[in-house]
């Protein structure tokens, strides 16, 4: 498929027209590697030639440069195959060497060039033959890759370029940019003798779009087209390789695959580039290898030293690479694409690659470059005896951790350990450094290396500090050896009463960790409450260890519900006042403080603290920190009656494919999607959490409650109820009573009511109300009052009035609106009921809850217009299936469309209905 070559075809057609009048010409087609010179030469006869034009073709190749007159023989073969019987007979009567070459009767030597006399005789015969062949029809001579033409044929082409005047011949040769000096000196001579040079330009975005349509049999999305054009830079070879690679992987030209285009490194393109590089001069290859060795970190001076060239030689080689289209036009040499570096490296043996990296490491180190740049080259060498290598790798590991790349840091430190076999304190400190890095992504490896390091450390303080490097699984199951390590380290510090200074700090942190490991043991939780009471009303929070211990004790009180919400919120708020909101807190106990504040409904405190965290971040979050931040922000927003924004943060967390979902993050996200009541979103969270082996009661309970919610919305009420009751029994056995963290009772009450078991529902409602009064958080108490008030019908009005009174002085306006709607309906008719429902409608409208406004208006007797009338027919079909519990993909399969089209219909429907998602759809639809 020839695109955007109309200018070149027009010039070549004009040259042929002039040749018919005896005005011959030499035309050179040039451009970088892969620009399409050969394709244009191949299509040229079909595009511009008429029946009377005789076409002679020859393709030069580097492996055939020693084949004497090889290109001439190809041209003569073309001439002979297209000749008439009369011409063949006439030429057969001649006896010169040119005819013998054509007929294969004279095979010149293939290694040594012919003598000057033989060569001159051939030239004379070829001149005569061309003149004879062009007498009746113009000749179009096409020679591809001029730089690889054998020397005798090259001399003939140079001779032809000088004596074409008066003949009807157009000679078209292709020459790749940067290759003018790779062959004989005759190559630039022929190029300079060309009457016209046509340099092929890159393809435009429109041409890229057309090629995508041709290759993929479908129109490409604009984002996909843009990605293809940016990566290929309009080079047809690069673009074709990208499209073939995407097709081989089964990726259609859609927007979601645009990013894949930007990261693809096609194997076919790599091999083509490697083949090209192998034919380049030694200096050009050495510069390419040096650029690849530095991997983008080398300036021209260092690259020149590694390549072993002087300044002029380096400049010429660099210019050749840039002209070939392999280098970006930047101050520091950079390949245009990572696949070019792959191609360069594939031309080297393993030993050659190691020697280059070792030399690059030495150059970077002696020139004072950052440790992380030197470390990458040290890692590419199998063994290193450099005395400074360990220092550089440790410094690079420290930098990698600060940059949020613990896996890279661990690789550096493992290399240091391989070369350090002494079983002493130095090795112990290396193991601890490695464990610190592994603690951010592999807890088991971290624990294992700490276990190895502890016996090698000489002081109790060092052993205690090492053990504390094992990150606590905040709500998950710990390895059985962890409590033993902590207890042993604590005993090594001496009696608690005799500790002071650093030993006291370490002891408090060890105590905090030990107490938290017992968070599923009712006896340990009771002991934690006694310890909390012993700290007094205003526990000391001057040190990090004191804050860590208090955080654990507060969360223990929150789990059991034995600590009033107001007290828990006040103490947790004091901790946040002294703890900076900085990256890395996903691996500390601070998430427990946030969970305590959420349970106590101190959302404003968390919101303010998270805002300060956002200001403290100098770069985007990543990994476990990002998931935790998104989860916390989503919970704040859903508590502030902003479900649409909360959903966006949940989706952002789900979009992080490789991020680490820690225990607290999973629990918070489960609570958010439970409040959003969106089965599809809930299933995504459940599927994502299920990818990891998450253990521990907190996680299993959160996910079981979420799964029960999904089952209930699917109509599986009995299954959901049984799951909730099992969950409740497990929580009760551990002494966990807090419904704010694990709301199994409110869901079970609703399900009991739906299956007609009012007595069981009322029993659970009584339990929930007793707990809520003891806990004392306003929203939790109001929900408990509302649940029991609904069950008791008219007798529940006093409970609903109490709920309204509780909420009057709070910021939970949406909860107040819900309670007022229920109170108005329970009151029946009358002025008070009407006033209550009007207030509820006003509050619901202010909170952006149109479905709740409709409930209030329905209670007032106002006629409700069918809101679905504003939807299109397709939108009504989609939301009908959504309301029946179908997923987006199931709906797409039902209608034979893409899931993206379903998402678009849903988005439009939500906007028209004034709702935020699936959880509000049931209230927006007619019965």
Q: Can you give the pLDDT at residue 62?
A: 84
pLDDT band, residue 114 (cuts 50/70/90) = low
Residue at token pair 């103490």: 571
Of 154, 152, 150, nearest to 171 by C-alpha is 154
By the 8 A CB rule, do 739 and 745 touch? yes
Helix, strand, coil abundance in the chain, percent, nearest 5: 65, 5, 30
By the 8 A CB rule, do 227 and 259 touch? yes
Q: Can you give the pLDDT at residue 665?
A: 84
d(CA 435, CA 623): 18
Q: Can you give the pLDDT at residue 750?
A: 86
pLDDT band, residue 620 (cuts 50/70/90) = very low
Least confident segment among 98-112, 176-190, 390-404, 592-606:
98-112
Name the more confident of 371 and 422. 371
d(CA 769, CA 751): 17
Q: Can you give the pLDDT at residue 920?
A: 63
**Residue boundaries of the structural domains of the chain:** 6-199, 868-924
Q: How many CB atoms lie within 10 A of CB 255?
A: 15
* DSSP sequence for 257-270: GHHHHHH---HHHH
For the stretch 423-469, pLDDT in tens is 788 899 999 999 999 988 888 899 899 999 999 998 999 999 999 98
d(CA 91, CA 80): 10
- The pTM of the full predicted model, rounded to 2 decimals, is 0.67
Using CA of residue 241, residue 245, residue 248, residue 254, what is the dihedral sign? negative
Q: How many CB atoms lie within 10 A of CB 366?
A: 11
Q: Can you give the pLDDT at residue 842?
A: 84
Q: Can you give the pLDDT at residue 651?
A: 87
For the stretch 177-197, pLDDT in tens is 877 555 577 888 888 888 899
Whether the per-residue pLDDT at 578 is higher than 80: the answer is: yes
Least confident segment among 450-454, 585-589, 857-861:
857-861
Q: Can you give the pLDDT at residue 142?
A: 93
Least confident segment among 117-126, 247-256, 786-795:
117-126
Rounded to the nearest 10°, the torsion over CA 793, 797, 798, 800 is 100
Whether the per-residue pLDDT at 496 is higher than 90: the answer is: no
For the stretch 355-405, pLDDT in tens is 888 898 898 899 888 898 899 888 888 876 788 999 999 999 999 988 888
Integer CA distances (angstroms), 638 to 185, 672, 742, 815, in order? 76, 7, 17, 12
Q: Residue ranges of the alpha helices (H) in 497-579?
A: 502-517, 522-534, 544-560, 565-578
For the stretch 740-758, pLDDT in tens is 889 999 989 988 888 888 8
Of 823, 778, 825, nearest to 801 by C-alpha is 823
Whether the per-residue pLDDT at 599 is higher than 80: the answer is: yes
Of 478, 472, 510, nearest to 491 by C-alpha is 510
Whether the per-residue pLDDT at 109 is higher than 50: the answer is: no
pLDDT band, residue 622 (cuts 50/70/90) = low
Q: Can you give the pLDDT at residue 449?
A: 92
Q: Can you give the pLDDT at residue 338?
A: 87
Q: By CB neighbour count within 10 A (0-12 exposed, 13-18 middle, 19+ buried), where does 345 fall?
A: middle
Average pLDDT over residues 539-553: 91
Strands 139-144 and 169-176: parallel
Whether the per-residue pLDDT at 693 is higher than 60: the answer is: no
Phi first, then psi: what are they for 50, rounded to 5°? -105, 180
Average pLDDT over residues 838-850: 77
703-707-708 Cα angle (round to 5) = 120
Q: Residue ranges of the alpha helices (H) in 300-381?
A: 300-307, 311-323, 338-346, 350-366, 371-379
pLDDT band, residue 865 (cuts 50/70/90) = very low
By the 8 A CB rule, do 482 and 447 touch? yes
Q: Can you give the pLDDT at residue 572?
A: 92
Strongest mean pLDDT among 374-388, 486-500, 721-735: 721-735
pLDDT band, residue 886 (cuts 50/70/90) = confident
Number of H helices, E strands in the chain: 48, 5
Whether the per-residue pLDDT at 501 is higher than 90: the answer is: no
For the stretch 43-59, pLDDT in tens is 888 887 777 888 999 99
d(CA 495, CA 500): 11
By the 8 A CB rule, do 64 and 183 touch? no
Whether the per-residue pLDDT at 586 is higher than 80: the answer is: no
Whether the per-residue pLDDT at 834 is higher than 80: the answer is: yes
Q: Can you give the pLDDT at residue 864?
A: 43
**Phi-psi map region of 909: left, alpha, beta (phi>0 left; psi -120 to 50 alpha):** alpha
For the stretch 775-828, pLDDT in tens is 988 888 888 888 888 888 778 888 888 888 888 877 777 778 888 888 888 887
The CATH class of the 868-924 domain is: mainly alpha
d(CA 98, CA 171): 19
Element (H, E) at 723: helix 717-733
Of 184, 19, 151, 172, nearest to 72 by C-alpha is 151
Average pLDDT, the chain: 83
Q: Can you give the pLDDT at residue 102?
A: 62
Residue at token pair 């939301």: 879
d(CA 163, CA 165): 6
Kindly give, in sequence order, each residue whose CB lies less than 8 Å from that of residue 78, ignoring residues fewer than 6 positions away. Answer: 55, 56, 57, 58
Average pLDDT over residues 516-540: 90
Average pLDDT over residues 346-361: 88
Answer CATH for 6-199 from 3.40.50.620, 3.40.50.1360, 3.40.30.10, 3.40.50.300: 3.40.50.300
For the stretch 11-29, pLDDT in tens is 998 988 888 888 889 999 9
Name the more confident of 882 and 532. 532
Whether the per-residue pLDDT at 421 is higher than 80: the answer is: no
For the stretch 891-909, pLDDT in tens is 877 777 777 777 777 777 7
Using CA of residue 252, residue 255, residue 257, residue 261, what is the dihedral sign? positive
Q: Can you give the pLDDT at residue 128?
A: 76
């Amino acid at each position: 498929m020839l695109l955007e070559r109309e200018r070149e075809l027009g010039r070549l057609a004009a040259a042929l027209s002039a040749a018919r009048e005896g005005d011959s010409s030499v035309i050179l087609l040039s451009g970088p590697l892969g620009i399409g010179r050969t394709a244009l030469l191949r299509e040229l006869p079909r595009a511009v030639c008429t029946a009377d034009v005789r076409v002679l073709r020859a393709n030069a190749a580097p492996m055939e440069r020693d084949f004497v007159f090889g290109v001439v023989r190809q041209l003569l073969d073309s001439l002979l195959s297209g000749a008439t019987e009369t011409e063949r007979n006439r030429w057969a009567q001649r006896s010169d060497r040119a005819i013998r070459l054509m007929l294969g009767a004279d095979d010149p030597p293939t290694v040594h060039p012919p003598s000057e006399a033989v060569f001159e005789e051939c030239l004379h015969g070829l001149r005569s033959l061309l003149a004879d062949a062009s007498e009746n029809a113009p000749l179009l001579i096409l020679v591809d890759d001029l730089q690889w033409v054998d020397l005798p044929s090259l001399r003939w082409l140079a001779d032809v370029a000088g004596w074409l005047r008066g003949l009807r011949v157009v000679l078209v040769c292709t020459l790749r940019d940067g290759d003018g000096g790779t062959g004989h000196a005759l190559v630039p001579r022929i190029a300079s003798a060309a009457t016209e040079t046509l340099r092929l330009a890159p393809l435009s975005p429109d041409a890229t779009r057309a090629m995508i349509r041709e290759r993929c049999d479908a129109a490409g999305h604009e984002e996909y087209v843009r990605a293809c054009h940016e990566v290929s830079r309009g080079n047809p070879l690069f673009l074709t390789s990208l499209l073939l690679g995407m097709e081989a992987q089964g990726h259609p030209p859609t927007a979601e695959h645009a990013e894949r285009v930007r990261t693809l490194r096609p194997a076919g393109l790599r091999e083509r580039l490697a083949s090209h590089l192998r034919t380049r001069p030694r200096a050009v290859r050495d510069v390419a290898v040096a650029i690849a060795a530095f991997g983008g970190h080398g300036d021209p001076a260092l690259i020149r030293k590694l390549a072993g060239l002087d300044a002029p030689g380096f400049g010429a080689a660099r210019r050749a690479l840039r002209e070939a289209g392999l280098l970006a036009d930047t101050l520091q040499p950079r390949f245009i694409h990572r696949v070019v570096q792959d191609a360069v490296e594939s031309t080297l043996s393993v030993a050659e690659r190691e020697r280059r990296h070792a030399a690059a490491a030495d150059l970077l180190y002696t020139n004072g470059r950052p440790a992380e740049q030197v470390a990458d080259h040290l890692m590419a060498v199998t063994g290193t005896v450099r005395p400074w290598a360990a220092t550089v790798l440790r410094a690079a590991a420290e930098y990698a951790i600060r940059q949020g790349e613990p896996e890279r840091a661990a690789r550096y430190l493992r290399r240091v350990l391989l070369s350090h076999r002494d079983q002493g304190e130095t090795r112990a400190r290396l193991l601890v450094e490695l464990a610190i890095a592994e603690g951010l992504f592999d807890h088991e490896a971290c624990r294992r290396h700490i276990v190895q390091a502890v016996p090698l450390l000489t002081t109790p303080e060092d052993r205690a500090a090492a053990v504390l490097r094992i990150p606590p699984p905040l709500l998950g199951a710990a390895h059985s050896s962890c409590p033993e390590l902590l207890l042993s380290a604590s005993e090594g510090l001496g009696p608690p009463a005799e500790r002071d200074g650093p030993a006291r700090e370490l002891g408090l942190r060890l105590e905090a960790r030990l107490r938290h490991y017992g968070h599923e043991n009712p006896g340990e939780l009771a002991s934690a409450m006694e310890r909390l009471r012993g700290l007094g009303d205003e526990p000391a929070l001057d040190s990090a260890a004191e804050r860590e211990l208090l955080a654990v004790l507060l969360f223990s009180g929150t789990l059991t519900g034995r600590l009033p919400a107001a007290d828990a919120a006040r103490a947790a708020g004091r901790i946040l006042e002294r703890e900076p909101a900085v990256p890395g807190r996903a691996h500390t106990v601070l998430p427990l403080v946030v969970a305590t504040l959420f349970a106590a409904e101190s959302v404003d405190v968390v919101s303010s603290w998270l805002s300060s965290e956002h200001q403290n971040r100098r770069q985007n979050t990543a990994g476990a920190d990002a998931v935790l931040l998104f989860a916390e922000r989503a919970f704040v927003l859903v508590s502030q009656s902003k479900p649409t924004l909360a959903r966006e943060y949940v989706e952002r967390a789900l979009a992080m494919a490789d991020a680490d979902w820690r225990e607290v993050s999973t629990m918070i996200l489960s609570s958010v999607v439970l409040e959003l009541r969106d089965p599809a979103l809930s299933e995504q969270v459940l599927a994502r959490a299920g990818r990891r082996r998450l253990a521990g009661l907190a996680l299993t309970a959160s996910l079981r409650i979420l799964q029960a919610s999904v089952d209930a919305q699917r109509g599986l009420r009995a299954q959901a109820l049984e799951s909730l009751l099992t969950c409740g029994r497990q929580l009760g056995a551990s002494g966990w009573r807090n419904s704010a963290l694990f709301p199994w009772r409110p869901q079970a009450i609703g399900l009991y009511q739906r299956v007609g078991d009012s007595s069981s529902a009322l029993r659970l409602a009584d339990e929930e109300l007793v707990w809520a009064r003891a806990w004392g958080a306003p929203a939790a108490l109001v929900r408990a009052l509302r649940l029991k008030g609904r069950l008791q019908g008219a007798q529940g009005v006093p409970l609903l009035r109490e709920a309204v009174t509780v909420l009057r002085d709070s910021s939970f306006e949406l909860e107040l609106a819900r309670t007022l709607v229920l109170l108005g309906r329970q009151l029946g008719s009358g002025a008070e009921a009407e006033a209550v429902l009007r207030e509820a409608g006003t509050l619901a409208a202010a909170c952006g809850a149109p479905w709740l406004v409709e409930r209030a208006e329905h209670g007032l007797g106002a006629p409700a217009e069918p809101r679905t009338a504003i939807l299109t027919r397709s939108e009504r079909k989609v939301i009908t299936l959504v309301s029946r519990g179908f997923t987006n993909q199931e709906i797409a399969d039902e209608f034979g469309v893409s899931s993206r089209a379903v998402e678009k219909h849903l988005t439009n429907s939500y906007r028209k209905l004034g709702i935020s998602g699936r959880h509000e759809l049931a209230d927006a639809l007619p019965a």
